[in-house]
Amino acid sequence: MTPLILASTSVYRRELLARLRLDFDVARPETDETPQPGEAPAALAWRLAEAKAAAVAAQRPGAWVIGSDQVAEFDGRPIGKPGGRDQAIAQLSAMSGREVRFCTGVCVLRDGEAGLSELDVTVVRFRELALAEIERYVDAERPFDCAGSFKSEGLGIALFEAIESRDPTALVGLPLIATARLLRRAGYALP
């Protein structure tokens, strides 16, 4: 079978892709993730997923490469990873009682061929959160490397009122339903 490479250093994406029980390698994509002027969060996620896959595919001829990126959108603007405690508390405080959209793009390509791409949009509705709840959560889970300042696969699920999604894995960073569909189209044998 053709080699498969995940163009990501994210431990979350690696763990998700492993659930499909395919052999794969991991490579760091060297891509500029700066949004273009006026670029919508969904367009940014799509573009970066394709750019990451293309960057690694250029270095690994013949391999199928999976690129993925997620952009959180709050009040029409992209929000990033908090990076630290104070920023995480500020993000969660702002999102209390509100909705956040998570746009997750995935692209599978080989040797500069036209990529197979999809975009998943997940909407998270936060319940009203007291500052003490937010601080307890941030101190317990330290979600500093997660867009939106939470880990839905962990304790962060307790922050929500509801999640609307076609694919629950998309919120973690790699939409496995779409990824499996794209890999089947690329010739991989999956159930």
**Average pLDDT of the residues in 72-95:** 93
pLDDT at 80 over 80: yes
Q: Are 98 and 136 in contact (CB under 8 A)?
A: no
Q: Quote the tokens at residue 171.
A: 């919120």
pLDDT at 114 over 80: no
pLDDT at 137 over 80: yes
* 140 lies in some domain: yes
Q: What CA–CA distance (Å, rounded) separates 7 from 64?
A: 10
**Average pLDDT of the residues in 73-90:** 92
Task: Enumerate the active-site residues.
Answer: 69
pLDDT of residue 1: 65
**Residue 28 CA: distances (Å) to CA of 9, 57, 59, 113:** 6, 11, 11, 20
Nearest to 44 by CA among 101, 99, 124, 103: 103
**Average pLDDT of the residues in 93-104:** 96
**Average pLDDT of the residues in 102-116:** 88
Domain containing 72: what range?
4-185
Q: What angle do CA 115, 117, 81 make, to 5 degrees?
A: 115
pLDDT at 111 over 90: no
* 191 lies in some domain: no
* Domain of residue 134, CATH code: 3.90.950.10
pLDDT of residue 190: 85
Number of domains observed in the structure of the chain: 1
pLDDT tens-digit series, residues 16-50: 999 999 999 999 999 988 888 989 999 999 999 99
pLDDT at 112 over 70: no
Q: What CA–CA distance (Å, rounded) separates 78 from 68?
A: 16
* 86 lies in some domain: yes
* pLDDT category of residue 87 using cuts at 50, 70 and 90: very high
* 135 lies in some domain: yes
* pLDDT category of residue 178 using cuts at 50, 70 and 90: very high
* 51 lies in some domain: yes
pLDDT of residue 47: 95
